[in-house]
Structure 1
Amino acid sequence: MPAPSAFRSFLEPGQSVAHPDHPEWGRGQVQSAIAHRVTVNFEHQGKVLIDASVITLTLLS
């Protein structure tokens, strides 16, 4: 596993994602992605800070 400072997220603000463990949260929009910290605003959960080194969000089209 890379060091946290070397981790780069492939996600960018504006992209739509889903949380694999919480489909009830609905579609989320990436607000920010800095290293492994990704802030997502989900339809039914609101803003959530995701550790992308632990959770792999599903990119939606």
Structure 2
Amino acid sequence: MDHLNALLEPGMLVRHPDQPEWGLGQVQSNIGGRITVNFQEQGKVVLDGRVVALTPVFER
């Protein structure tokens, strides 16, 4: 899973496929497969990119 997450960069918008209620998230960092995202409804979350494949959002 983490091969697609490796493309995520700070500032990119994403959604968590298993947590739609978290809303839109902005990537804060992506270091060694640990992705920090600030979600609208959940706040800052650190995710293991090997476990979850975030969905990039290119249009709002």
> What's the TM-score bracket when you normalise by the shorter of the two chains?
0.7 to 0.9
Identity of aligned residues (%): 57
Which residue, 3, 10, 13 being the options, matches 1:13? 10
Pairing of 1:1-61 with structure 2 (within 5 A): 9-61=6-58
TM superposition shift of 1:10: 1.2
Find the residue that maps to 1:24 and give its secondary structure.
Answer: helix
Gaps of 5+ in 1: 1-7
> Which has the bigger relative contact order, CA under 8 A and spacing at least 6?
2
TM superposition shift of 1:9: 1.5
Deviation beyond 4 Å, 4+ runs, structure 1: none
Gaps of 5+ in 2: none
Deviations 1:23-47 (A, max 9, x none): 0000000000002100000000000
